[in-house]
Structure 1
């Protein structure tokens, strides 16, 4: 069976950056399962998965535009320390949600200098070319429930609580 719309594909992957550093990998874990054509994985990888079948191994380079997006300078803001009222142990790397004119976005504290705190709303991999090494493990038809929910249920997928 080939990977196409209304299919669930399970795959092992190793993700590296331009320097060859491993950023993420499924090695030693269950393969990642996703519903094809539902936007569950980055667009460039999803396109490369199309038409593949169990046992296929391949490498794909995904440009930032087809991965986590380009780096947007406007998503980096310096805010006053008192904007984090109630947070005594503010530290670099802490995630927060920020209210913007476009709605709520996830931000991460990147710099703390005195009373000024820099937060970045870009995805940590924004602007990066993503290098995926992929092994397709299984391809199956999605269930009606998975299709209606837009994601995989069960092993390697989404669990409702």
Structure 2
């Protein structure tokens, strides 16, 4: 039987969970996720789990934070003076924002703290610093 290898186009169904069992994403009820194995389109641990699977196989992959979205980094948390925010904006903890990088790319960020003169912004991925568990089923190669 054919096994998935680097360079193959594959389709998978998956459920992503935190270590406490909380589901954060799933392809259930949707089309399978399509990607190229080893092309860097997926987090490292997910890619590695699919590499070598046979069509129809199911695997549960426990992926440490370092092979998922990385560790939460302090240098990705920074202060922004309120004077740099739009004048009509009322910042709230947990609020999702988008920041523009010098190249024009939009980066999702979250308001971590709100103070009188500044807001603390966290640009880490929501799943940074978290170990993840994925139930994966390989449904097609090619």
Q: Which moved more, 1:35-44 or 1:74-83?
A: 74-83
TM-score (norm 1): 0.78
In 2, are the aligned partners of 1:62 and 1:130 still within 8 Å (CA)? Answer: yes
| Alignment partners' CA distance in 2, 1:99 and 1:30 | 33
What is the DSSP-based 3-state SS (H/G/I as helix, E as strand, rest coil) of the residue aligned with 2:4? coil
Contact 1:98 1:107 in 2 (8 A): no
Aligned counterpart, 1:123:
125
Unaligned runs of at least 5 residues, structure 1 = 141-161
Note if contact 2:95-2:110 (Cα within 8 Å) is conserved in structure 1: yes
The total of aligned residue pairs comes to 138
2:4 aligns with 3
Deviations 1:16-72 (A, max 9, x none): 101110011111111101011110110011111111121000100000111100111
Alignment of 1:102-113 (within 5 A): 105-113=107-115
Q: Partners in 2 of 1:37 and 1:87 — Cα distance? A: 45
Structure 2: stretches of 5+ with no match in the other structure = none
Alignment correspondent of 2:52: 51
The residue number in structure 2 matching 1:70 is 71
* TM-score, scaled relative to structure 2: 0.87
